[in-house]
Amino acid sequence: MDDSNIVSFVAWSVITGIIMGVAGLSYKAYLRRNKNETSAS
């Protein structure tokens, strides 16, 4: 692999990691909100 491939790989890895982190936090917030609604009713 030359340098441009390595830079591209690292960039996509960072982007994927950020997306996974945001999705995980959103899912955790969704579960917490959902649990509160079911226990309140």
pLDDT tens for 6-30 read 999 999 999 999 999 999 999 999 9
Q: Is the pLDDT of residue 40 over 80?
A: no
Q: What is the pTM of this model?
A: 0.68
* 3-class SS string, the chain: CCHHHHHHHHHHHHHHHHHHHHHHHHHHHHHHHHHHHHHHC
